[in-house]
Amino acid sequence: MRVIEKVSAFAGNTFAYWVILFAALALFFPEGFTWIAPYISWLLGIIMFGMGMTLSSSDFKKVFSHPKSVWIGVVAQYVIMPFLAFVLAYGLGLPPEIAVGVILVGACPGGTSSNVMTYLARGNTALSVSMTAVSTLLAPILTPAITLLLASKWLPVSAGDMFKSVVTIVLLPIVLGLIVKALFQKLVEKSISVLPFISVIGIVAIVAAVVSGNKEKILESGLLILAVVILHNCLGYLLGFLAAKILKMNYEDQKAVSIEVGMQNSGLAAALAAAHFTPLAAVPGAIFSVWHNVSGSLLANYWGKKAEKHNILEDHQDNDNSTDFKMNN
- pLDDT tens string 70-83: 889 999 999 999 99
Rounded to whole angstroms, how far apart are CA atoms 126 and 132? 10
Please give, one letter per residue, the 3-state secondary structure of the chain.
Answer: CHHHHHHHHHHHHCHHHHHHHHHHHHHHCHHHCHHHHHHHHHHHHHHHHHHHHHCCHHHHHHHHHCHHHHHHHHHHHHHHHHHHHHHHHHHCCCCHHHHHHHHHHHHCCECCHHHHHHHHCCCCHHHHHHHHHHHHHHHHHHHHHHHHHHHCCCCCCCHHHHHHHHHHHHHHHHHHHHHHHHHCHHHHHHHHHHHHHHHHHHHHHHHHHHHHCCHHHHHHHHHHHHHHHHHHHHHHHHHHHHHHHHCCCCHHHHHHHHHHHHCECHHHHHHHHHHHCCHHHHHHHHHHHHHHHHHHHHHHHHHHHHHHHHHHHHHHHHHHHHHHHHHHC
Band of residue 52 on the pLDDT scale cut at 50, 70, 90: confident
**Is 90 exceeded by the pLDDT of residue 231?**
yes
Supply the pLDDT for residue 181: 84
**Is 80 exceeded by the pLDDT of residue 324?**
no
Supply the pLDDT for residue 262: 92
Supply the pLDDT for residue 24: 86
Backbone angles phi, psi at 249, to 5 degrees: -80, 155
Band of residue 322 on the pLDDT scale cut at 50, 70, 90: low
Ramachandran category for residue 134: left, alpha or beta (phi over 0 → left; psi -120 to 50 → alpha): alpha
Count of CB atoms within 10 A of residue 82's CB?
Answer: 24
- pLDDT tens string 244-297: 999 989 999 999 999 999 998 888 888 888 888 888 898 898 888 888 888 888
The pTM (predicted TM-score) of the whole model is: 0.81
Band of residue 310 on the pLDDT scale cut at 50, 70, 90: low
Q: Which of 88-97, 166-175, 183-192 has the lowest mean pLDDT?
A: 183-192
Supply the pLDDT for residue 55: 72
Among 39-48, 82-91, 265-274, the range with the most confident prediction by mean pLDDT is 82-91
Supply the pLDDT for residue 313: 58
Count of CB atoms within 10 A of residue 309's CB?
Answer: 10
**Is 90 exceeded by the pLDDT of residue 300?**
no
Supply the pLDDT for residue 84: 95
- pLDDT tens string 116-159: 788 778 888 888 888 888 898 899 999 999 999 999 889 888 88
Band of residue 104 on the pLDDT scale cut at 50, 70, 90: very high
Band of residue 329 on the pLDDT scale cut at 50, 70, 90: low
Q: Are 253 and 128 contacting, i.e. CB atoms less than 8 angstroms apart?
A: no
Domains in the chain with CATH codes: 2-314 (1.20.1530.20)
Q: Which of 9-18, 20-29, 89-98, 247-256 has the lowest mean pLDDT?
A: 9-18
Q: Which of 44-58, 147-161, 209-223, 302-316 has the lowest mean pLDDT?
A: 302-316
